[in-house]
Chain A
């Protein structure tokens, strides 16, 4: 079980590759070298005769397809009959050493009958070849939603602006690769350690995939070295290790290589987007009309969510009268795309913010001032019925304007660009429709004077456990170090759905506060009885419970806990959170609503080498309304992280097929930003506490990424006087768009 110890820097923490149960075996996967083919034969004989190899399996051992969304489970743990992308797992080999397992996997002979493969959206759209027989048009979801009088808005518009945008796929580049250790135990239960963002989903999905009772699966999440969305889903290596362990009654480990992560990652969807804006006589946005095509790769994964978010979140952060979108996710013979920080929204936000700037240029108005005028008000309800609580969007724009000197005269050769955005703080409705809490917490007071918080949150390096401890401690009036967090064990911890959709601070935070409030009450009651002071007149301060009127009258916290234990047997508080929301009355309305929305704005200052097409980002001001900053350092860290990731996506990073194979497949060839290249980053915290948030807090992990990319593109477009509408902004492409 992971403890919140802050010891990562010293190398004391255990990651999945450090887990070493007795008798550990090692697995390796044989992967498809074909993008689309019938599997004629999977011959395991060579693998089985490899010294050290104990077993080898192919897709026939599994009886169920998997997938996060119950309605789109289309992925076999190991390919069966057909392979649909290069890198798809076809067979698994288990051996006494990792080398023997790899060697054995390399000796699996796979005979293919190649089929014409579909490399991209355009080819997929022709429908000439079908990737899944059940999806004859190659479309996982074709979401068409319309809100308000769209056509009327366009016909009465004073001005219509439109643009076509493209956004490349990219990977998460988490430092730790994916991996799992599965152990089928003598008591006929499965223990699995995995580098995952959602232990409870993993528990459920593993049980489904292996026909087990979920009670037979215990997921243990050790330290995780980053996820960024790439470790949300349940993966082949997790299911395969579990199956092999069950077969051999020995623990089995499989850690993916970096190359394998590029085949597995569920990176950002490549997107093509056409957008139109209808503007009224006062420059108000009357309507947005969007057509979005996403390259989903070979399997569905969480693609249904992506497809909806891409359109639904267009309704924030600006006021609109009408919104219409068509969002389609195509199957192609590429590794499946999935959630990456800012899931579903990053691509369309780029397009929208570019279009807003284009419109501002055509109207001759200041794009920052205009955005401020367009901002949704607190308490607003959007055309698609998203309910806004608090919004600090205006304040975010003010902060970046002030800090960047937006209104000052510009420096020759440099340009500023602005963008705004909003994001969800958790999805109001769970992936599996039910009325169960999204998050639960238990807090136990110990007679030693310490507290233990049991929570299902999945710390993946983002500081979640720290934030939970902070909330518990503040509620109890104690210092943070008095709260130990025990998380990451589905046997020991109550449920939390996982680290995705920026849901943890709000949802787990609310349940933690509720649990801490219960404990607080018990302690105050016990102290009240002993001190003969009414509860309302008592206060808890670090280490003591005292009379508000006379701090000299009181007792130690330890004593209070002991008294409470005498009364209750065990001092335990529980809390849970389930958004008190109902979907609106249209199909698809469950995807998009959130208990609270965060807001962000960014200004980028760039200089462009016009002869070479090289964009240099000098400064990035990034303001984010996180409701309340529960821990300022963690908020700042997320702002830095978002600025860096956004900078990389804007200028350096992309993944795509070369021929039929995804490329690149090594970090050295993939352009993650290096520290020496980074612009000066100026994080700015804005606090507009939300009534739904714990102490008013909203998300900070994903939303701040969204405006960074369009702010850079807007600045560069301004500098060059052309529309840079395609991400990433590689210099050869920039120069092609700009001919002086």
Chain B
């Protein structure tokens, strides 16, 4: 496998053109911080791209009292300073990648970024010596200890944060817009391939109600910028519907899980006894090392971070 060639590259002049090209199989190219390296590393080959960053309709932030609507093509740098964006989300944006990357990286691209393992960035020569993996034409997952399933993990911090915030996504096709929950975007199983988006993601909608006190998130990275998260999780306390219903919480985890997901209520609503929590995470956390640190450590650290987030409520 060699650095991949790019098929066509079209700069969309308007939204309709972009939607049409995506339906034809073009991949949306937003900031390119995830997509272009995948092409140059040969993980994608022959793809046609439609550049969408200049389309105004998907690069806006709007707030109507009930909901906050964030255009998919808004950059993380812009989101991190936008006055309508809640502080917890602004802070989370600032914790992604590095200042330089955030000026190009978009919200949509972040949620739809490819899953990665610790070897995803490795160049062609390295791979040919180390051996191809499931993502690169081989038959085994090398990061997963030569397993027969891919153990990559989608490491989006914002996915965890927005899952906890109960965000919805609006996709555009020629048949019109469809809205789905962010939760339903992500598969439940291991990460066999990149995400198939059901159209052009136009905006992310965050309900203003539902979570009291904002979203608390925690992230574990080797350095405070540039590195992808080893653990990314977020917690929302959900306002009780009535006096009689017990308070609940929504806990979302992305790294090191294959795909970002909400933890089951059995874990989320537990009072947070640490041993139980670590035990519970064992059932959903990977047992192989997909990032920098040992899986047992990650389970332990995630339990610690979860408790810290819960305690801060």
Residue of A nearest to B274 (CB): A611
Count of chain B residues with Cβ under 8 Å from any Cβ of A?
Answer: 29
Within 8 A of A (CB), among B1-21: 2
- In the complex, are the beta carbons of B129 and A660 less than 8 A apart? yes
Residue of B nearest to A610 (CB): B304
B123 contacts which of A611, A666, A730 (Cβ < 8 Å)?
A666
Say yes or no: A259-B123 contact (C-beta < 8 A), given A86-B129, A659-B130.
yes
Looking at A312-320, A341-349, A413-421, A671-679, the stretch in contact with chain B turns out to be A671-679
Say yes or no: A731-B126 contact (C-beta < 8 A), given A674-B223, A674-B224, A677-B223.
no
- In the complex, are the beta carbons of B293 and A676 less than 8 A apart? no
Query: How long is the Cα–Cα vector from A718 to B193 in the complex, in angstroms?
Result: 46
B220 close to A (CB within 8 Å):
yes
- In the complex, are the beta carbons of A33 and B128 less than 8 A apart? yes
Query: How long is the Cα–Cα vector from A730 to B220 in the complex, in angstroms?
Result: 13
- In the complex, are the beta carbons of B222 and A661 less than 8 A apart? no
- In the complex, are the beta carbons of B123 and A665 less than 8 A apart? yes
B246 close to A (CB within 8 Å):
no
Looking at B76-84, B237-245, B280-288, B294-302, the stretch in contact with chain A turns out to be B294-302
A31 close to B (CB within 8 Å):
yes
B121 contacts which of A86, A668, A677, A736 (Cβ < 8 Å)?
A668
- In the complex, are the beta carbons of B126 and A659 less than 8 A apart? no
Residue of A nearest to B122 (CB): A665
Within 8 A of A (CB), among B209-229: 220, 222-227
- In the complex, are the beta carbons of B223 and A671 less than 8 A apart? yes
- In the complex, are the beta carbons of A661 and B293 less than 8 A apart? no
- In the complex, are the beta carbons of A677 and B125 less than 8 A apart? no
Residue of A nearest to B98 (CB): A674
Within 8 A of A (CB), among B263-307: 292-294, 296-297, 300-301, 304-305
B46 close to A (CB within 8 Å):
no
- In the complex, are the beta carbons of B304 and A612 less than 8 A apart? yes
A676 to chain B, nearest CB (A): 5
Chain B residues with Cβ below 8 Å from A731 are 293, 297, 301
- In the complex, are the beta carbons of A259 and B129 less than 8 A apart? no
A382 to chain B, nearest CB (A): 40
- In the complex, are the beta carbons of B304 and A611 less than 8 A apart? yes
Count of chain A residues with Cβ under 8 Å from any Cβ of B?
Answer: 32
B130 contacts which of A611, A613, A661, A736 (Cβ < 8 Å)?
A661
B131 close to A (CB within 8 Å):
yes
A661 contacts which of B126, B225, B294, B297 (Cβ < 8 Å)?
B126
User: Interface 1/0s, chain B 122-140, versus A by CB < 8 A?
Assistant: 1101101111000000000
Chain A residues with Cβ below 8 Å from B224 are 674, 676-677
- In the complex, are the beta carbons of B130 and A652 less than 8 A apart? no
Residue of A nearest to B126 (CB): A665
Within 8 A of B (CB), among A602-629: 611-613
- In the complex, are the beta carbons of A671 and B222 less than 8 A apart? yes
Chain B residues with Cβ below 8 Å from A677 are 223-224
- In the complex, are the beta carbons of A735 and B223 less than 8 A apart? no
A18 close to B (CB within 8 Å):
no
A133 close to B (CB within 8 Å):
no
Say yes or no: A676-B129 contact (C-beta < 8 A), given A731-B297, A732-B297.
no
A669 close to B (CB within 8 Å):
yes
A652 contacts which of B142, B222, B296 (Cβ < 8 Å)?
B222
A520 close to B (CB within 8 Å):
no
B300 to chain A, nearest CB (A): 7
A670 to chain B, nearest CB (A): 10
Within 8 A of A (CB), among B101-145: 118-119, 121-123, 125-126, 128-131, 142
Query: How long is the Cα–Cα vector from A100 to B91 in the complex, in angstroms?
Result: 46
User: Interface 1/0s, chain A 136-169, versus B by CB < 8 A?
Assistant: 0000000000000000000000000000000000
Query: How long is the Cα–Cα vector from A87 to B126 in the complex, in angstroms?
Result: 9
A34 contacts which of B2, B129, B304 (Cβ < 8 Å)?
B129
- In the complex, are the beta carbons of B225 and A676 less than 8 A apart? yes
Max chain B CB contacts within 10 Å: which of A32, A86, A661?
Answer: A661
Say yes or no: A674-B128 contact (C-beta < 8 A), given A612-B301, A666-B121, A669-B121.
no
A86 to chain B, nearest CB (A): 5
Residue of B nearest to A732 (CB): B297
A658 close to B (CB within 8 Å):
yes
Query: How long is the Cα–Cα vector from A87 to B125 in the complex, in angstroms?
Result: 9
Chain A residues with Cβ below 8 Å from B220 are 612
Chain A residues with Cβ below 8 Å from B227 are 671
Query: How long is the Cα–Cα vector from A368 to B220 in the complex, in angstroms?
Result: 34
Query: How long is the Cα–Cα vector from A665 to B301 in the complex, in angstroms?
Result: 27
Chain A residues with Cβ below 8 Å from B122 are 663-666
B125 contacts which of A259, A611, A676, A735 (Cβ < 8 Å)?
A259
A92 to chain B, nearest CB (A): 15
- In the complex, are the beta carbons of A674 and B226 less than 8 A apart? yes
Query: How long is the Cα–Cα vector from A632 to B95 in the complex, in angstroms?
Result: 37
Chain B residues with Cβ below 8 Å from A673 are 223
Chain B residues with Cβ below 8 Å from A659 are 130-131, 142
Query: How long is the Cα–Cα vector from A521 to B121 in the complex, in angstroms?
Result: 62
Residue of A nearest to B301 (CB): A612
- In the complex, are the beta carbons of B304 and A730 less than 8 A apart? no
B165 to chain A, nearest CB (A): 25
Query: How long is the Cα–Cα vector from A612 to B293 in the complex, in angstroms?
Result: 12
- In the complex, are the beta carbons of A661 and B129 less than 8 A apart? yes
Chain A residues with Cβ below 8 Å from B2 are 106
Within 8 A of B (CB), among A642-694: 652, 658-661, 663-666, 668-669, 671, 673-674, 676-677
Chain A residues with Cβ below 8 Å from B293 are 730-732
Query: How long is the Cα–Cα vector from A731 to B300 in the complex, in angstroms?
Result: 12
Say yes or no: A652-B121 contact (C-beta < 8 A), given A659-B131, A732-B293.
no
Query: How long is the Cα–Cα vector from A34 to B125 in the complex, in angstroms?
Result: 11
Within 8 A of A (CB), among B245-259: none
A614 to chain B, nearest CB (A): 8
Residue of B nearest to A262 (CB): B126
Within 8 A of B (CB), among A79-119: 86-87, 106
Chain B residues with Cβ below 8 Å from A86 are 129
Chain A residues with Cβ below 8 Å from B125 are 31, 33, 87, 259
User: Interface 1/0s, chain B 183-226, versus A by CB < 8 A?
Assistant: 00000000000000000000000000000000000001011111
Chain A residues with Cβ below 8 Å from B223 are 652, 671, 673-674, 676-677
Residue of B nearest to A674 (CB): B223
Query: How long is the Cα–Cα vector from A87 to B129 in the complex, in angstroms?
Result: 9
Chain B residues with Cβ below 8 Å from A668 are 121, 226
B292 contacts which of A33, A660, A730 (Cβ < 8 Å)?
A730
- In the complex, are the beta carbons of B129 and A674 less than 8 A apart? no
A731 to chain B, nearest CB (A): 7
Query: How long is the Cα–Cα vector from A669 to B130 in the complex, in angstroms?
Result: 16
Chain B residues with Cβ below 8 Å from A612 are 220, 301, 304-305
Query: How long is the Cα–Cα vector from A666 to B130 in the complex, in angstroms?
Result: 15
B229 to chain A, nearest CB (A): 14
A719 to chain B, nearest CB (A): 17
Say yes or no: A732-B225 contact (C-beta < 8 A), given A34-B129, A661-B126.
no
Query: How long is the Cα–Cα vector from A226 to B224 in the complex, in angstroms?
Result: 25
- In the complex, are the beta carbons of A732 and B294 less than 8 A apart? yes
Max chain B CB contacts within 10 Å: which of A34, A612, A652?
Answer: A612
User: Interface 1/0s, chain A 500-520, versus B by CB < 8 A?
Assistant: 000000000000000000000
Chain B residues with Cβ below 8 Å from A663 are 122, 126
Query: How long is the Cα–Cα vector from A674 to B109 in the complex, in angstroms?
Result: 25
Chain B residues with Cβ below 8 Å from A611 are 301, 304
Chain B residues with Cβ below 8 Å from A730 are 292-293
Chain A residues with Cβ below 8 Å from B226 are 668, 674
A44 to chain B, nearest CB (A): 18
Known: A32-B129, A665-B126. 12 other contacts (CB 8 A): A87-B129, A611-B301, A611-B304, A612-B301, A659-B130, A660-B129, A669-B118, A669-B121, A676-B223, A677-B223, A677-B224, A732-B296
A-B contact list, 6 entries, CB within 8 Å: A659-B131, A669-B121, A674-B225, A677-B223, A735-B297, A736-B294
CB-based closest 5 A-B pairs: A732-B297, A33-B129, A732-B294, A732-B293, A611-B304
